[in-house]
Amino acid sequence: MAATACPRVGYFRFTFGSTMPNLSFGEKIAQIAWRLAPKRTLSRIIGWSAKRRLPRPIQDCILRSYAKTYQLNCSEAEHPIEHYPSLQAFFTRRLAPGARDFPTEEGSVVAPSDGTICDAGIAHAGKLLEAKGSAFTLNALLADDELAGQLLGGPYVVIYLSPRDYHRVHFPLGGKVIAWSHIPGKLFPVGNPSVKREPGLFARNERFVTVVDSPAGKYAVVMVAAVGVGHVTATYDTEVATHDGGFSKGRRVRHRQFSPPIPIERGQELGIFNLGSTTVTIFEPDRVKLNDLVSDAQIEMGTPLGRIIPV
């Protein structure tokens, strides 16, 4: 079924938490600076620079310096550093076959991405990230009241991808992709300082939502864009390239439903951050039991997050 555009979005219906901390003078200055900064223009410049192909000796020097600075585990990469023609190609590198061990238990739910666990819990009253002082509602995050209602009270996990992480996103459970949504928005940075400064940040930035019908009911994987990381592609739908010309112009939420749905397997590639950001994964209530996940802990794609609750 063809993608459709929804009515123009003048604003989103945010529900901010009351737990935003008082900002220091320096944090207020940073907040003002980032709000005034031409974030989309900066993202285009960063994206353009990352795609440039330089003479091989210079390119190798840049990539090795990048790998050393961020302590990348290059042994996991599909190819050696000298294979990659640009910083973006290296940044979006695939893993070598067998680089990650997936759990053998059929009911195991796995992490969709590498990164740092920002938060995990239950979306009580539809709110997420209250503990981090930046609460927002499922309705605001998903821009889909019906889907938000189905996931209300379900478990969620937020994972931040830093420059050192593998930047492809995978399906945490098998099933069938039934829909996606592209939601325009801001491109604030998504590190802890920015989350602290900007209320409801993840529901304000641009994002791409994939909806899956699985053995644990419906779940959604939200890829949140950020400055330098506005461009998101979906592996299961080659039409999706969020910052390519013509994909989605203006402030319109765009949806696509699949009939028939697209079969996928646990661990299969879902999409790519062309530079990095954050994933938010939300499951139906009472269908998935999360493990005891520790906030600010590092996690790798494929690591068990929890298990399906038998019905």
Active site residue ranges: 114, 170, 277
C-beta of residue 88 within 8 angstroms of C-beta of residue 229: no
The span from the CA of 27 to the CA of 128, in Å, is 23
Contacts of 222 (CB under 8 A, 6+ apart): 141, 142, 202, 207, 208, 209, 210, 279, 280, 281, 282
Distance of CA 157 to the CA centre of its chain: 11
Contacts of 193 (CB under 8 A, 6+ apart): 27, 30
Structure tokens at 116: 């740092």
Longest dimension (CA), the chain: 58
Q: How are beta strands 232-234 and 269-273 bridged, if at all?
A: antiparallel
The span from the CA of 103 to the CA of 93, in Å, is 23
The span from the CA of 189 to the CA of 275, in Å, is 12
Residue type, 212: V
φ and ψ of 114, to 5 deg: -70, 165
The span from the CA of 28 to the CA of 62, in Å, is 34
**Which of 168, 155, 160, 275 has the alpha carbon at shortest distance from 220?**
155
The span from the CA of 161 to the CA of 150, in Å, is 27
**Which of 74, 201, 72 has the alpha carbon at shortest distance from 140?**
201
C-beta of residue 230 within 8 angstroms of C-beta of residue 190: no
Structure tokens at 166: 């593998």
